[in-house]
Amino acid sequence: MSLHSASSTPSQQDLTPASLAAARPLRVLMYSTYFPPEFSGAAQQALMLARQLRRIGHHVEFVTVRWRDLPEHDTVDGFPVTRLYAGRGVKHRELRLWANLCAYVWRRRHAFDVLHSHGAYYTNAIVGPLARAAGLKSIVKASLANDDLHDIGRTLSGRLHRALLRQVDACVAISRDLVREFNDCGLPAERIHYLPNGVDTALFHPADADARTALRSELGLPADVPVALYAGVMDARKNIEWLATQWVQQDAFGTGALLVAVGPQSREDPNGELIARLNALGRQAPLRFMLRPRSADVERYLRAADLLVLPSHREGLPNVVLEAMASGLPCVAADVSGTRDLVQHGRTGYTYSPDDPQALALAVCSGLSPAGRALGENGRRIAEEQFSLNSVAQGYSRLYDRLVGAQR
């Protein structure tokens, strides 16, 4: 199996002018189902990766689905973005999307070397045969355990999904569990690569006590109580309502801490029913729970907080945990796939059994103790050594070069 091991990735200092000059510039078309201004953790990671690849010298463009009335052609952070229509019906919407994607890639096939999908779902897997037809190389990146590859081979669409994946040149797993899922699909071992998500360790960094106090004043957060942070979309998978309810009902588990939830309304909650319940909970117990809308500078909240809490039922390799580690925060998280790759119990934070209130209480109390807070330093060191965005971008650069070099 071709595994790009996090423990052997280059350090941030490896991105020297000499290494930048040595990298062979390649042209990459990235596909993401959702892309800004639509919220998506996978798209956020794609954009961060694209920035680093651009710094190395590669050319990156994006193609995505045209949701709502967003423009067909756009520029996001200096990257050209093309949005394509998918079908309007409930069933087989992918057929219209595939037709439009195939037409777009074929028309511009001489402008790219690599077609890189952020997602390994059934819909995304079309990049394999499409890239082969267009003379390009293809990559799919699986971002969510028990989701991207769910039901593969078990249904008609699942069998087609597996057949499409077998045409992909490289399958990237961001967690060890996703490596196993790709293996279980029966894909050739040499096409499976482990490349974790990365974090910008310059943007996300710890704050000293004075800086934390100043940030809390700017953000309207109390200076005299511990602050636990949840950052992410407000939806069922993230399990934020359960966390907030437990926090209020159990009076912050005796810690006196305020739980601050920062993030956007979910696409699964179009009428805002979950958001309304969370707002009501905040009004009921304002000293224990506070809901804030999505913030463009979540790094400021991370530097102002004492603890990150992530109660998700399922994850890939959560960006927010990487960001919290880089910010020097201990993390409390449900022990689920992907998250357990990052939150090492007693070393970078504490894990607990999903939906277990007593285990959550113990983990939160430990995380907010002096011993728990010291674990944030371990998290920062591991983020720098194993998950820096520079290192991950270099790993992709080498993978691109290996794939494209094989056909030259």
What does 292-308 look like in DSSP terms, one character per residue? E---TTHHHHHHH-SEE
pLDDT at 342: 92
Q: Which domains does the chain have, with CATH numbers?
A: 6-198+388-407 (3.40.50.2000), 209-386 (3.40.50.2000)
pLDDT at 322: 96
Integer Cα distance of 246 and 273 in angstroms: 19
pLDDT at 38: 86
pLDDT at 91: 66
pLDDT at 68: 79
Taking alpha carbons only, the member of 142, 150, 87 closest to residue 116 is 142
338, 173 Cβ separation under 8 angstroms: no
pLDDT at 374: 85
pLDDT tens-place values along the chain, 408 residues long: 444 443 334 333 344 443 443 457 999 999 999 999 987 888 989 999 999 999 999 999 999 999 878 999 999 999 999 999 987 766 677 889 999 999 999 999 999 999 999 999 999 999 999 999 999 999 999 988 888 888 888 888 889 999 999 999 999 999 989 999 999 999 999 999 999 999 999 999 999 999 999 999 999 999 999 999 999 999 999 999 999 999 999 999 999 999 999 999 998 899 999 999 999 999 999 999 999 988 778 999 999 999 999 999 988 889 999 999 999 999 999 999 888 889 989 999 999 999 999 999 999 999 999 888 889 999 999 999 999 999 999 999 999 999 998 654
pLDDT at 3: 46
Environment class of 269 (CB within 10 Å of its CB; exposed 0-12, middle 13-18, buried 19+): middle
pLDDT at 90: 60
206, 379 Cβ separation under 8 angstroms: no
Helix (H) or strand (E) holding 210: helix 209-219
Longest dimension (CA), the chain: 64
Distance of CA 166 to the CA centre of its chain: 25
Cα-Cα-Cα-Cα dihedral sign, residues 352, 358, 361, 366: negative
C-alpha to C-alpha distances, 140 to 6, 40, 59, 330, 364, nearest whole angstrom:
19, 17, 18, 32, 36
pTM for the model stands at: 0.85
C-alpha to C-alpha distances, 98 to 31, 124, 183, 297, nearest whole angstrom:
12, 9, 26, 35
Integer Cα distance of 302 and 115 in angstroms: 34
pLDDT at 157: 86
